[in-house]
Structure 1
Amino acid sequence: MTPLIIIPARMAATRLPGKPLADIGGTSMIVHVMRRAQEAAIGPVVIACSETVVKDVVEAAGGRAVMTDPELPSGTDRVKACADIIDPDGQHDIIVNVQGDMPTLDPGVIKAILAPFDNSDVDMTTAAVATSDAREIKDPNVVKAVIAGDGRALYFTRASAPSGDGPIMHHLGLYGYRRAALDRFCALPPSPLERRERLEQLRALEDGMRLDVVIVDAAPHGVDTPDDLDRARQLLLKDITE
């Protein structure tokens, strides 16, 4: 495999405008995420952005950034556009989409989602962590993955699922794609269940693509609100001082 990590970033987040450049311990959040991705050491890391201010910050930190169309409908479309710009010949056969709002992401999780690609039937991969937290289980902002015994994703939902005894799996928002699968995914229209749940990974499942889920030990702290940002600052400060 020859993976390429792409981190989509845009300034127009609804709940936290300017999120990529949010300061965490003197460093912009997008740079924290970039460094985590670089620490995974699986391949080149590129930021797919739509504002020059983000590009400038990334490049000042020694990273690589590519400008993409600000009108693209999703982060996944931004990832594909970036891959097409920097690798038009498809030399990178695996594209890893790391969300730009996970500054506490363990680099080992990025490595882990490559393992299912040893099976040639797998089109996409992602990760999940078991949770018994009643608040998370009820929270529609915490997406749950329903996973078969062989690791295949059967469904993703904002509801608590499956019912009965057993773990509830908290889905983590990062993905690996075979290059052909990324192209196929982005060529598809939004699917009915995707629209209903507001979860784009359901588009892949409805089209018959195989998406395998790797179970990891801990969830990164995502940043969507000012409170999330304060929590990320506390966590990263703790890591620095320990």
Structure 2
Amino acid sequence: MHSIGIIPARFASTRLPGKPLVDLGGRSMIRRVVEQAQQARLSRVVVATDDQRILEHVQGFGGEAVLTHPDHPSGTDRVWEAYQQLGVSAGCVVNIQGDEPFIHPAQINALLDVFADASTQIATLVKPVVSDEELQSPHLPKVILGAAGEALYFSRHPIPYLRQYPESEWRTHHRYLRHIGLYAYRPAVLQQLTQLAPAPLELAESLEQLRWLTHGFRIHTAETELETIGIDTPEDVERALRHLATVGTAEA
């Protein structure tokens, strides 16, 4: 199947301006994302940016990039514009977060595998919750699945609520899952998603995927045990550098 990975990368960031160009151990963050994605079974990897500096940087290290409109309301919209610019036909489009420099190729491949089922419209990743801190963190959305592995609902609150047990025992009695924000779509579905109006549940939780569920789209899931490190703040940069130092020591 012909599959395209598109990495939305905006220059503006309230907490970390110029985030895609931040240096992580001698390579920019966006370069690390591109190089990780290129190891997956993708036919093509393209950066979709709103900034000439990012465009030239990606092209400078041999990557492929397109310049997109600066005012897109979401990464989904930026991915759709980039796909249109490419003028090609693909079996699926993978939206790869531009602030995940250690994304695992196996995670991308797991999403591609979901599209072996012709009924798949959208696919995303889930990961078991491994601590009470993860379970209670509003920054790590949780998800509940139906019997066929499709997402029923996403929430920043722990779901389900186990009313018969104290919260300290919830993980003992239920296998909780959290959401990893990596998406893949059929191109025709991606186009439809960009035309949907915001939904009340989406606005309440600030989770875009609830708009899709509200409008009747199905989200298939694949499970991963692998962890990634998202970069949103200067503190996250320091954490990523410590990770790189640890990996370097382990490989020495």
* 1:219 Cα offset (Å): 2.2
Q: Indicate which of 176, 189, 205 corresponds to 2:213.
A: 205
What is the aligned partner in structure 2 of residue 182 from structure 1?
A: 190
* 1:8 Cα offset (Å): 0.1
Q: CA–CA distance in 1 between the matches of 2:222 and 2:214?
A: 20
Q: CA–CA distance in 1 between the matches of 2:142 and 2:15?
A: 22
Q: Does the 8 A contact of 1:124 with 1:175 survive in 2? A: yes
Q: Does the 8 A contact of 1:130 with 1:168 survive in 2? A: yes
Q: Does the 8 A contact of 1:172 with 1:219 survive in 2? A: no
What is the aligned partner in structure 1 of residue 94 from structure 2?
A: 96
Secondary structure of 1:65's aligned partner: strand
Question: Partner letter of residue 214 of structure 2?
Answer: E
What is the aligned partner in structure 2 of residue 168 from structure 1?
A: 176
Q: CA–CA distance in 1 between the matches of 2:9 and 2:175?
A: 32
Could you list the runs of 5+ residues in structure 2 that have no partner in the other structure?
163-172
* 1:116 Cα offset (Å): 1.9
Q: CA–CA distance in 2 between the matches of 1:211 and 1:14?
A: 30
Q: Deviations over 1:84-133 (max 9, x none)?
A: 0012xx51120000000111111100000112222222210000110121
Secondary structure of 1:31's aligned partner: helix
What is the aligned partner in structure 2 of residue 28 from structure 1?
A: 28
Q: Deviations over 1:6-43 (max 9, x none)?
A: 00000111221111011100111000000000011321
Q: Deviations over 1:199-235 (max 9, x none)?
A: 0011111111110111111221111111111111121
Q: CA–CA distance in 1 between the matches of 2:37 and 2:186?
A: 18
Question: Partner letter of residue 122 of structure 2?
Answer: M
Q: Deviations over 1:117-173 (max 9, x none)?
A: 222222100001101211111111111111122110001110011233212212111
Q: CA–CA distance in 1 between the matches of 2:110 and 2:75?
A: 21
Total equivalences in the alignment: 240
Question: Partner letter of residue 122 of structure 1?
Answer: T
What is the aligned partner in structure 1 of residue 44 from structure 2?
A: 44
What is the aligned partner in structure 1 of residue 227 from structure 2?
A: 219
* 1:64 Cα offset (Å): 0.5
**TM-score using structure 1 length:** 0.96
What is the aligned partner in structure 2 of residue 238 from structure 1?
A: 246
Q: CA–CA distance in 1 between the matches of 2:128 and 2:139?
A: 16
Q: Does the 8 A contact of 1:132 with 1:167 survive in 2? A: no
Question: Partner letter of residue 120 of structure 1?
Answer: A
Q: Does the 8 A contact of 1:104 with 1:236 survive in 2? A: no
What is the aligned partner in structure 2 of residue 19 from structure 1?
A: 19
Could you list the runs of 5+ residues in structure 1 that have no partner in the other structure?
none
Q: Quick one: structure 1 residues 41 and 236, their matched pair in 2 at CA, closer, same or farther if it must change by over 3 Å?
A: farther
Q: CA–CA distance in 2 between the matches of 1:43 and 1:188?
A: 28
What is the aligned partner in structure 1 of residue 111 from structure 2?
A: 113
**Residues 1:2 and 2:10 aligned together:** no
Secondary structure of 1:128's aligned partner: strand
Secondary structure of 1:48's aligned partner: strand
Larger Rg computed on CA atoms: 2
* 1:236 Cα offset (Å): 2.3
* 1:188 Cα offset (Å): 0.6
- Percent sequence identity over matched residues? 40
